[in-house]
Amino acid sequence: MQVRALPPAEYTLGGFTMLLGGWNYDEVKAVNLPQKVASAFTSITSELVGADYMPIAYAGSQVVNGINHCIIALQTVVVPNPVKRLVKMIINIDTNGKATLVSVSSLGI
């Protein structure tokens, strides 16, 4: 049996253009993060090159050396045809208030 890949197909439905089989993030809205977390998120993401990030959910916190905060964000890779995906971001705010990006990982969707 021969298997061949089909080219991506786009279609328009309800005013949205979608890639067949792809996820549509056009209606995703930003969430208001707790003040300290929002400041840390803005500070950290403004220094990242190659992608933009929009927080869409605050998933929780973890007490460590400081506090880890888990944020679900919409990542938009800055290229001519922007690529969007959902990512989990862990940001640590230490006991002195310094924010550090611990990790960014794809949610696979």
Greatest distance between any 2 Cα atoms in the chain = 62
The whole-angstrom separation of Cα 21 and Cα 73 is 21
Coil, helix or strand at residue 11: strand
Residues in the chain: 109
Q: Which residue has the tokens 């993401």?
A: 45
Residues 107 and 86: beta-carbon distance below 8 Å = yes
Per-residue pLDDT band at 12 (split at 50, 70, 90)? low
Q: Is the pLDDT of residue 34 over 70?
A: yes
Average pLDDT value for residue range 50-59: 97
**Per-residue model confidence as pLDDT tens digits over 71-90:** 999 999 998 888 899 999 99
Using a cut of 0.85, tell me whether the model's pTM lies above it.
Answer: no
